Structure 1
């Protein structure tokens, strides 16, 4: 029974976390200006099979109307007007996709920053928990294996030093590749 209660409690915490994340994303979406939202929607639609089908049908219809025995000829082969419109469309749609990507990158950076903050907090909590456990074991006269790894894990992680080591390692890799 207790396991079921704990599972429901964890589910409630997970549901609250999911709701919090969705609320943050909704607020971020609301902050976008109307024209950004419109360009974002266009950029999202361009990457769908529906757009591909509509685009293909439109170009096919254009060519069919101008090659066949139709009375609607308005762009003779090699279709300079179609080429102009497709080039203009390519430039505009590329801009929409890049704007959408830019907005997504900003959201990704915010999530990355949040992940880093949560990871640093979890690291600090883990270190504190291990230290408390070691002190409890010592207080209760429980034998503990003393090894270097255990001692290292109970010390606070030097985040700045790790970040500097990571940057130095990345710079070495970049120098090797160039």
Structure 2
């Protein structure tokens, strides 16, 4: 027997009603859960902590804190008894300084952690940049070596000129032995020689 539906509830065979079952739909986002703790933006809180830690590490903070402590002590010593709020052992001042220190230490640690994270990212980027520079340098070194090797096999103008001069000397010596004049234009009666005619 199929259970009947009655206004969102299932009615069983004996007429008993069951609570409706909520099915989890995967095509819709989950409804937001209630949070009992306050929410904050960690990035904004980290920036604020860095600002505070940076201020705590300045001379201005030390001067202001010294001025406040001196005024506190002077007021509680020299003011009329009815207006003094912290008598001689200055317990309230000690409490305020302890409270300030208890907040300053975690804020400074948080700022240092953020700085360490930034330093780690910068070191990683520098390491990658160094690896790229080394790879580029090795590539350029191989290319320069290949160019030098290739240029060693190329005939230069000076080499061709020296080879031609050697050939010319060989021809002149051979024709001298045979008693013939090789280049009549280069005789003493033609001072410019062959190059002068070509020009």
- After TM superposition, the score normalised by the length of structure 2 is 0.53
| 1:121 maps onto 2:137 in alignment | no
Shift of 1:70: 3.5
Give a deviation string over 1:10-46, Cα, whole Å, max 9, x none: xxxxxxxxxxxxxxxxxxxxx9622222222111111
Alignment gaps of 5+ in structure 2: 1-40, 154-199
Structure with greater Cα Rg? 2
Between structures 1 and 2, the one with greater helix share: 1
Residue equivalent to 2:169:
none
Q: Which has the higher contact order (CA 8 A, sep 6+)?
A: 1
Task: Determine which structure has the larger strand proportion and give its number.
Answer: 2
Equivalent position of 2:70 in the other structure: 60
Q: Residue in 1 aligned with 2:148?
A: 137
Post-superposition, which runs of at least 4 consecutive aligned residues in structure 1 deviate over 6 A? none
Q: 2:56 aligned with 1:46, yes or no?
A: yes
- Any gaps of 5 or more consecutive residues in structure 1? 1-30, 143-178
| 1:93-132 matched pairs, under 5 angstroms | 93-132=104-143
Q: Is 1:83 equivalent to 2:99 in the alignment?
A: no
Query: What is the CA distance between 1:131 and its match in structure 2?
Result: 0.8
Q: Does 1:92 align with 2:111?
A: no
What value does the CA root-mean-square deviation take over the aligned residues? 1.7
